[in-house]
């Protein structure tokens, strides 16, 4: 599935209609979640059927397209099924019980309720929310794809305006020539990552560089806020928008860096081994939470796995336990503190701490590749050693 995003140019009245559609989708999701909580044994199709009951009971819910209502119920079920899966897997910590949404930013249509123009530069939403015809502008040409290939259309609200996302059913995989190389990656805070050959990529630290400007915008926003006043002044909302746009720019810089770096790593190697880090648990350390979040390790991993699927490369997530402690040469345990940046072993191995971890990660990753089949290393073999087929 390919996601194409284009900017929406609409009038003020149409923007208010989009906001109303987003609020309605949030209302239906929360109602579906409450229906699941109050009734035992409710499944996915029960939530879809409940959308019709909500449309009959609330007039503003009936104004939203029927498939958009079902899509909101699907979002509620996605949170429920994620909670069930976490319980079955017995993951440590909280299992992610579904929560009610307070600030939704998108509404999703399926195959009805919208229609593209012939030149694919305009889209018309035909439900009773009165969004109407809006202009699209982007770098991707929708004429390359048939309208039947577009399975879902999503309207997303961001700090700098509204965007329309098209989910296109197309195979994005590409065939590339093998590079005959492999790499092990150890992510860190001093450097974004260090590979098994000692090459290091600097940590861009986008949030740290923009933190001064963010704090300045936040102070200006706070000065215009009046406690207890509803609604706030227009100057306050302008300052709040400027502050949100600063945050949006930093998040886009971090995403762009992760995409370009992940694509470069995947296209240059056939096997990529990386750490299976639980970032949600790591940010509980309040001394390092800001730096870990600014690094964007999880986003980098997501794009590594995506490009690995797209280009047909092998990506292996390795447990991070003892990768920094064990020696990559002899396997002996060399305990180190976080401030110790050099690995020194009794066998004579002297390496950078992150390079030693990257070598261990690659070694563990290569040992698991090829052993995923049924009874790949079981006791019983298909052919007995030293015997022919007749015997």
Query: E strands, 55-160, where?
Result: 106-109, 114-116, 122-125, 132-137, 150-158
Per-residue pLDDT, averaged over 360-365, amounts to 91
- Span 145-199, pLDDT tens digits: 888 999 999 999 999 999 999 999 988 888 888 888 999 999 999 999 999 998 9
Dihedral (CA of 171, 172, 173, 174) sign: positive
- 144 and 262 assigned to the same domain: no
| pLDDT at residue 221, as a whole number | 94
First vs last Cα of the chain: how many Å apart? 51
Residue 381 lies in a domain: no
Shared domain for 196 and 115, answered yes or no, is no
Among the ranges given (99-108, 112-121, 136-145, 367-376), the one the predictor scored with the smallest mean pLDDT? 367-376
pLDDT score, position 386: 42
Domain CATH number, residue 266: 3.30.420
Q: Considering the domain boundaries, does residue 226 fall inside one?
A: no
Contacts of 266 (CB under 8 A, 6+ apart): 272, 304, 307, 308, 310, 311, 313, 315
Within a domain: 313: yes
Query: Tell me: the pLDDT tens digits for 306-345?
Result: 999 999 999 999 988 888 888 888 888 888 888 888 888 8
Looking at the domain assignment, is residue 267 inside a domain? yes
pLDDT of residue 380: 44
Mean pLDDT of all residues belonging to the chain = 89
Tally of domains within the chain: 2
Residues 7 and 102 in one domain: yes
Domain shared by 191 and 145, yes or no: no
Check whether residue 57 and residue 191 sit in a common domain.
no
Flag whether 228 is in a domain.
no
Query: Which has the minimum average pLDDT: 80-89, 112-121, 281-290, 294-303?
Result: 281-290
Residue 389 has pLDDT above 80, yes or no: no
Shared domain check, 132 and 186? no
**Mean pLDDT over residues 246-261, rounded?**
95
pLDDT of residue 135: 95
Q: Examine the domain organization and report whether 195 and 160 are in the same domain.
A: no
The reply to whether 117 falls in a domain is yes
Q: Is the domain of 262 the same as that of 150?
A: no
295 and 330 together in one domain: yes
Q: Is residue 248 part of a domain?
A: no
Helix or strand run (H / E) with residue 140: none
Q: What is the pLDDT of residue 370?
A: 56
43 shares its domain with 95:
yes
Q: Tell whether 118 and 199 lie within a shared domain.
A: no
Domain that holds residue 198: 182-203+255-368
* 221-243 pLDDT per residue, tens: 999 999 988 899 999 999 999 99
Instruction: For residues 269 and 358, state if they share a domain.
Output: yes
**Rounded distance, CA 167 to CA 345, Å?**
52
Q: Is 199 contained in some domain?
A: yes
Q: Which of 118-127, 296-305, 334-343 comes out lowest in average pLDDT? A: 334-343
Tell me what percent of the residues of the chain surpass a pLDDT of 70.
94
Q: What is the pLDDT of residue 388?
A: 43
Give the residue, 374 or 123, on which the prediction is more confident: 123
């Amino acid at each position: 599935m390919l996601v194409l995003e284009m900017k929406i140019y609409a009038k003020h009245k149409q923007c208010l209609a989009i906001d109303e559609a987003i609020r309605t989708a949030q209302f239906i999701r929360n109602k579906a979640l409450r229906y699941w909580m109050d009734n035992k044994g409710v499944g996915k199709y029960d939530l879809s059927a409940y959308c019709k009951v909500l449309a009959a009971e609330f007039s503003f819910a009936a104004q939203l397209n029927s498939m958009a209502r079902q899509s909101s119920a699907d979002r509620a079920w996605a949170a429920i099924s994620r909670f069930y899966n976490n319980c079955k897997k017995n993951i440590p910590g909280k299992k992610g019980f579904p929560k009610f949404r307070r600030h939704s930013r998108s509404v999703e249509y399926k195959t009805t309720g919208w229609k593209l123009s012939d030149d694919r530069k305009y889209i018309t939403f035909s439900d009773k929310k009165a969004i109407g015809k809006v202009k699209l502008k982007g770098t991707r040409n929708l004429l390359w794809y048939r309208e039947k290939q577009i399975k879902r259309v999503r309207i997303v609200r961001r700090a700098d305006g509204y965007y329309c996302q098209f989910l296109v059913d197309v195979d994005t995989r590409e065939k590339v020539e093998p590079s005959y190389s492999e790499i092990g990656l150890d992510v860190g805070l001093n450097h974004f990552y260090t590979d098994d050959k000692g090459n290091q990529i600097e940590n861009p630290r986008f949030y740290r560089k923009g933190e001064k400007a963010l704090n300045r915008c936040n102070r200006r926003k706070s000065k215009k806020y009046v406690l207890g006043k509803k609604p706030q002044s227009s100057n306050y909302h302008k300052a709040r928008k400027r502050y949100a746009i600063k945050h949006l720019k930093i998040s886009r810089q971090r995403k762009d860096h992760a995409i370009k770096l992940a694509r470069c790593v995947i296209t240059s190697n056939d096997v990529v081994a990386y750490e299976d880090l639980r970032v949600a648990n790591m940010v509980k350390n309040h001394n390092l939470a800001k730096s870990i979040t600014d690094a964007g390790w999880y986003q980098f991993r997501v794009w590594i796995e995506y490009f690995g699927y797209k280009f047909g490369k092998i990506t292996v997530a390795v447990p991070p336990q003892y990768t920094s402690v064990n020696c990559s040469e002899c396997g002996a345990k060399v305990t180190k503190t976080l401030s110790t940046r050099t690995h020194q072993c009794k066998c004579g191995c002297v390496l950078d701490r992150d390079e030693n971890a990257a070598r261990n990660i690659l070694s563990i990753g290569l040992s698991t590749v090829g052993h995923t089949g049924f009874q790949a290393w079981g006791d019983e073999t298909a052919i007995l050693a030293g015997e022919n087929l007749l015997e």
